[in-house]
Structure 1
Amino acid sequence: METGEKVPIPKTQLILHLIPVIGFFPSLWVVYRHQASREQLAVSRLSITLAFTWLSSYLLLATGAATSEFFTLRLLILNSFFTSGYFLVSIWLVVRVLQGKSYRLPGMSSLAERIFRK
C-alpha cells in the first residue's frame, strides 16, 4: 500500500480498539507495528492512554485504600468512580464511532498524541 492511498477503516476495527481493557492489546500492537491508517493510530493511542490512566489511578487508589485506616472507604468509592468513568467513556466512544462522529476527547486525545509522538 502506498502512503498516499486512503483506505477506509471498517468501524469494527476502531470499535475493537475502544473496548475497555480488552482493546488495549490490539491498540498496543497497532502502535508498536505502526502500520495502520492515521485514524486507527489515533484511536489506538487514545485507547492506550485511557487504559494507562485508568490503571494507574486504580492502582494508586487501591494502594492508598489498603494502607490508610481513615480514608479506606472514601478511596474505594473514588476508585469505583474512576473505573465506572473509564468504562462509560469507552462505551460512549464506541457509540460515537458507530454514529460516524468524532472519537476525539478534549485533553486526552492531545495528551495521547504528545505521549506517542516520535
Structure 2
Amino acid sequence: MENFEPKENRELLAGEQRDNNPQSPIPNPPSPIPKTQLLLYLIPIIGFFPSLWTLYRGQGSREQLAISRLSITLALIWLLGYLLLASGAATSDFLTLRLFILNSFLTSGYFLVSVWLILRLIQGKSGRLPGFSTLAERVLGKYLS
C-alpha cells in the first residue's frame, strides 16, 4: 500500500522535512493571531476590558491594536450616548418615550455592529469601520499606544 502514496508524503511522514524553496526570506513565518482573541475584543461591553488591557500593555500585533482601539471607541461612544439619552429621558416630561426609543436604537446598533464585525473577522475580512477606525486611530492611538 505504500507504493500508492507519493514519495514526498512518505518522507514527511517519516519525519524528514524538505524545504522546497531554500531561498525563502522568512525561515519561520510568524504565527497568525488567534481569531478567538480578536473576536474576544469585539464582544459588546465585555470586550472593552481585554481591549483596554492590550492597549495598556502596548504589546500586540498591529491588527490586535487596531481592533482594540476600535472596540474601545465603539464602547465609549455607546456609553456616552446611552448616558446622555438616559439622563435626557429622566429630566424631560415630553420627550421621555422618544429618548428611550432612541436609546434602544443606539444599543441595538452597537450590538449589531459588533456582531457584524465579528462575522467579518470569521470570514477573514478586514475588521475596520470607515469612520470609526480613523477616529480610533486618531484619538486612542495618541493616548494609549
Same fold (TM over 0.5): yes
Q: Does 1:71 align with 2:59?
A: no
Picking from 112, 118, 130, the partner of 1:106 is 130
Q: Distance in 1 between matches of 2:74 and 2:63?
A: 17
Aligned residues: CA RMSD? 1.0
Q: Distance in 2 between matches of 1:86 and 1:6?
A: 33
| TM-score computed with the length of structure 1 as normaliser | 0.94
Structure of higher RCO (CA pairs closer than 8 Å, 6+ residues apart):
1
After the TM superposition, which residues 3-82 of structure 1 pair with which residues of structure 2 at under 5 Å, given as runs?
6-82=30-106
Runs of 4+ in 1 over 4 A off after TM superposition: none
Q: Distance in 2 between matches of 1:36 and 1:103?
A: 16
Structure 1 spans left out of the alignment, 5+ residues: none
Structure 2 spans left out of the alignment, 5+ residues: 1-28
The count of aligned residue pairs is 114
Q: Distance in 1 between matches of 2:67 and 2:33?
A: 11
Q: Distance in 1 between matches of 2:91 and 2:30?
A: 53
- 1:116 shift after superposition: 1.7
Give the structure with higher Rg (CA).
Answer: 2
| TM-score computed with the length of structure 2 as normaliser | 0.77
Q: Distance in 2 between matches of 1:41 and 1:117?
A: 9
User: Which amino acid is 1:34 matched to?
Assistant: G
- Percent identity, aligned pairs only, is 73
